[in-house]
Amino acid sequence: MHNYAGNSASYPATIPLIDDSDPPDASHFDPGPEALADRTAYLKLRALDKTGDTISGHVHIGNGAELEVDSGGEIVVDSGGNEYVDGHLEIRTGGDIEVDVGATGTVRGVVSAVSSGSILAAQTAAVRSTVDGGIEFAGSSADYGSLSPSRTKSYTWVIKPSDPTALDATHWLSPGYQAGAPPVIVGQASATVPIYLEIPNPHEGATLASVSVGLLVVGVHSGVPASLPSLSVQRVHLVPGSALPAPQTLKSTDSGSGIPFSPTPATGAAWHDSGNLQELVYSCDQNHTIDNVNYVYFLVLTDEHGSNAVAGNTYVYVKAQYTNISDLRFAC
């Protein structure tokens, strides 16, 4: 309180408190409010009531003040309640915000997760943005948004020869459009010219775990071909200003000639397998973390050949499986 200029006020030595049994109005102040302040000052009262474990009224945490909840403590908003943070909400090491099933949480302002703090959602779509750019990865240029645990994915595509000159009727054929079938290539049982196939848009940063080629074996063979179809998955390091190096295979036991179909069938009839779709599988175990900036990736497919080989095997699709997808970099 202060003295109003030119008109001093006299203050008592002690100011009695309001008796809890009295209603909080001016008649129960002793002395009256006029003895407590001059005409330029006033008291602003806000009621804060506590009954049992319930506090009703308005609680204002001013600038610089803190509301601290110790380890094991909780702030719980029951059904129908609302809790708003209009300023800065800091989650310190080991702390979290938990949104239970059926509950909603609204934060207005800045939410800062410090060190190992986190925002947890226990329900589908509990944390979401409804505007463009509402979720921003604001770290370095290597901040792609992490995934934990890492993900896997597989996708399949039609045969895409990267060297059309191999389709020369002597080594490989492309019969063109066939009703009810995707584009295919047909082997001519020749080991002279393998065919090179594309791996479109390998998934950057992921591990290429395996590549498979789907095929239909033509007719019942008189015996198992001396050399079954084989597949090699390779990459080449691109260094501007330098000569192209030798390709690197993605499997340690592949010297470059490829991995043959496995397991080896017992008979020519078993190799035909009643004309069912079969897969030639190549499992990668080296050089298989995808780096689209410095490497190109491709497949080398060789048809069956040698004794008991028959022309006409139909190759239908290629399938790749990726593992260890640990961030949101998509195929690029």
Considering the domain architecture, whether residues 178 and 43 belong to the same structural domain is answered as: no
pLDDT at position 299: 97
Q: Which domain holds residue 310?
A: 150-327
Mean pLDDT by 10 residues, the chain (332 residues): 54 54 55 46 49 70 75 69 65 66 62 62 79 85 86 92 84 78 89 89 93 96 97 95 92 96 97 97 97 94 96 96 88 47
Considering the domain architecture, whether residues 161 and 290 belong to the same structural domain is answered as: yes
Tell whether 119 is covered by a domain. yes
Q: Round to whole Å and give the CA distance between 191 and 184.
A: 19
Burial (CB count within 10 angstroms: exposed 0-12, middle 13-18, buried 19+), residue 292? middle
Tell whether 2 is covered by a domain. yes
Distance of CA 256 to the CA centre of its chain: 34
The structure tokens listed for 170 are: 């002597």
Tell whether 145 is covered by a domain. no
Domain count, the chain: 3
Considering the domain architecture, whether residues 241 and 181 belong to the same structural domain is answered as: yes
Q: Please indicate, yes or no, whether the overall pTM of this predicted structure exceeds 0.85.
A: no
Considering the domain architecture, whether residues 185 and 274 belong to the same structural domain is answered as: yes
Considering the domain architecture, whether residues 156 and 264 belong to the same structural domain is answered as: yes
Tell whether 16 is covered by a domain. yes
pLDDT at position 37: 46
pLDDT at position 124: 81
Considering the domain architecture, whether residues 16 and 103 belong to the same structural domain is answered as: no
Considering the domain architecture, whether residues 49 and 88 belong to the same structural domain is answered as: no
**Are 211 and 283 in contact, with CB atoms under 8 Å apart?**
no
**Are 301 and 163 in contact, with CB atoms under 8 Å apart?**
no
Q: Round to whole Å and give the CA distance between 257 and 249.
A: 10
Considering the domain architecture, whether residues 252 and 197 belong to the same structural domain is answered as: yes
Tell whether 67 is covered by a domain. no
pLDDT at position 143: 85
Domain limit, last residue, from 88, 105, 136: 136
How many Cα atoms occupy the beta-carbon half-sphere of 286 within 13 Å?
11
Considering the domain architecture, whether residues 47 and 2 belong to the same structural domain is answered as: yes
E strand or H helix at 319, and its extent?
strand 314-327
Considering the domain architecture, whether residues 123 and 154 belong to the same structural domain is answered as: no
Pairing between β-strand 118-121 and β-strand 96-99 as defined by DSSP bridges: parallel
Considering the domain architecture, whether residues 103 and 240 belong to the same structural domain is answered as: no
The structure tokens listed for 256 are: 């470059």
Q: Round to whole Å and give the CA distance between 150 and 61.
A: 42
CA distances from 44 to 41, 210, 247 (A): 10, 74, 82
Q: Report CA torsion sign: 272, 215, 236, 205.
A: negative
DSSP bridge partners of 145: none
Number of Cβ within 10 Å of residue 315's Cβ equals 22
Considering the domain architecture, whether residues 171 and 314 belong to the same structural domain is answered as: yes
